[in-house]
Amino acid sequence: MSWEKNVRKVTPYVAGEQPRGKVIKLNTNEFPYAPSPMVATKIYDLAQEELDGSSSMLRKYPDMDATKLVNAVVSVYNELYFRDDKAGSGLGFDNVFIGVGSDDVLAMAFMTFFNSGKPVLFPDITYSFYDVWADVHRIPYATQALTGDFSIDVNDYLNKENGGIVIPNPNAPTGVYEDPSMFEEIVRANPDSVVIIDEAYVDFGGESCLPLINKYDNVLVVQTFSKSRALAGLRIGAAFGNEKLIKYLKDVKFAFNSYTMNYPAIELATVSVLDTDYWKDTVARVIKTREWTKEKLRELGFEFRNSKANFIFASHKSMPAREIFEKLREKDIYVRHWNKPRIDNHLRISIGTDEEMKELISTLLTILKDENPE
Ligand SMILES: *Cc1c(COP(=O)(O)O)cnc(C)c1O
């Protein structure tokens, strides 16, 4: 067809499978526990208000700025991240951008900040959406190889001409966490670029780089409600940065669609972020399960870097990852495997409930025994 030459052709991002029914799903890093019970209560209250007509919000356009949610985030995050920050002035309303999941936030940030024509830098092994966004927005990029043990070599990001930098901390799918001081070095060395730190997994044991936003005007910290807040289905993400960065992000967002955040999502994310106790308790449970799982996997002959995320990226001493992946799948246990150079002998295993991880470990035991009968 002759119009086809004018099509913007892209290779889309490939997400992990979403099998339905009774399976053990450890392939897309979803949180294993329900979100705060306040969220379900709020759904009920919103439905009640619609029904009795006391407030028919669905009829109206939502608040473009998601003011209620941003205010909640500002008050909670100032307590969590800026209490001991002597240098900074904390977080204000104009330091926060809310989007439809951090995928939306990141896509907007690529479009807003990476326009120099110079290559954007990110690790060769990382979130596999970065090259997709670069391609769809026609941004050149240059991947920087992680070291043999999947660490970031800071020198790759210090003296290279670039049009921007994006790195997750902890990195995905490796789970490897780097200290905020390394990111500060990168931010300081690149005043002409925006440095994006993707903190999708930082709540599972890492320290956030958020305080850097008060010290540097070229750093954007991105977080999500999909992992530690158990709201992947609601689609809520956030970016934090200097007022000017946030203003530019909003301008681009409002140039596409002023009403990206729907009214129920704003209301539900607000009650979620305010329930700090529930969030802390459930995250601590996942961390405990992760540490138990590490121990058991090691006993079974798996090797992995220490993960500070809600997943473990492991390879087995003798059985190929692809084979384990397929055998687990036959038993309705889904983990993630990529046919990609350097990582094709690894499995990314999300942390589920204690029961799910016990089932995983006993199934792995059977699979590995069948291979090596005594
Ligand atoms: C899961 C994930 C995201 C995006 O999650 P959303 O559901 O879109 O908020 C972003 N970055 C990384 C590294 C992730 O793993």
* Residue ranges per structural domain of the chain: 19-36+277-371, 38-272
Tell me how far the alpha carbon of residue 354 lies from the centroid of ligand 1, in angstroms. Answer: 24
Our answer on whether the CB atom of 30 is closer than 6 Å to any ligand 1 atom is no
- Confidence class for position 162, pLDDT limits 50, 70, 90: very high
CA 371 – ligand 1 centroid, Å: 36
- Mean pLDDT for 343-361 is 98
Retrieve residue 364's tokens: 């792995």
The shares of helix, strand and coil residues in the chain, as percent rounded to the nearest 5, are: 45, 15, 45
Q: What is the mean pLDDT of residues 279-301?
A: 98
Q: Can you give 25-43 as a three-state secondary structure string? A: ECCCCCCCCCCCHHHHHHH
Q: What is the mean pLDDT of residues 187-197?
A: 98
From residue 44, alpha-carbon distances to 36, 41, 263, 268, 278 in Å are: 14, 5, 14, 11, 19
- Mean pLDDT taken over the chain: 95
For ligand 1, pick from 27, 224, 261 the residue to mutate: most ligand atoms within 8 Å of CB: 224
Ligand 1 geometric centre to CA of 79 (Å): 24
Query: In whole angstroms, what is the distance from residue 108 CA to residue 16 CA?
Result: 23
Q: Name the DSSP letter for residue 143.
A: E
Averaged pLDDT for residues 302-320? 98
Which residues have CB under 8 Å from 173's CB, separation 6+?
125, 311, 313, 336, 338, 343, 346, 348
Q: State in Å: Cα 84 to ligand 1 middle.
A: 28
pTM for the structure as a whole: 0.96
For residue 28, the ligand 1 atom closest to its alpha carbon is 1
Which of the four pLDDT bands, split at 50, 70 and 90, describes residue 170?
A: very high
- Looking at the chain, the whole-number percentage of residues with pLDDT higher than 70 is 98
Could you tell me which residues come within 8 angstroms of residue 178 by beta carbon, excluding any fewer than 6 positions away?
151, 152, 169, 170, 171
Residue nearest to atom 12 of ligand 1 (CA): 200
pLDDT at position 370 is 82
Give residues with Cβ within 8 angstroms of 288, minimum separation 6. none
- CATH top-level class for 19-36+277-371? alpha beta
Is a pLDDT exceeding 60 seen at residue 313? yes
Chain segment 88-124, per-residue pLDDT in tens: 679 999 999 999 999 999 999 999 999 999 999 999 9
Residue 118 pLDDT: 98
- How many whole angstroms from 102 Cα to the centroid of ligand 1? 6
99 lines ligand 1 (CB under 6 A): no
Q: State whether the beta carbon of 154 lies less than 6 angstroms from ligand 1.
A: no
Instruction: Choose one of 130, 227, 336 to mutate for the ligand 1 pocket test, by most ligand atoms within 8 angstroms of C-beta.
Output: 227
Atom number, ligand 1, closest to the C-alpha of residue 103:
8
Q: Is the pLDDT of residue 17 over 90?
A: no
My answer on whether omega of the bond before 173 falls inside 30° of 0, hence cis, is: yes
Q: Tell whether the model's pLDDT for residue 57 goes beyond 90.
A: no
**Exposure of 112 in the CB half-sphere (CA atoms within 13 A):** 26
Q: d(Cα 361, Cα 331) in Å, to the nearest integer? A: 12
Question: Would you state the pLDDT for residue 55?
Answer: 82
The finding on whether 32 has its CB within 6 A of some atom of ligand 1 is no
CATH of 38-272, one of 3.40.50.300, 3.40.640.10, 3.30.2020.30, 3.40.50.720: 3.40.640.10
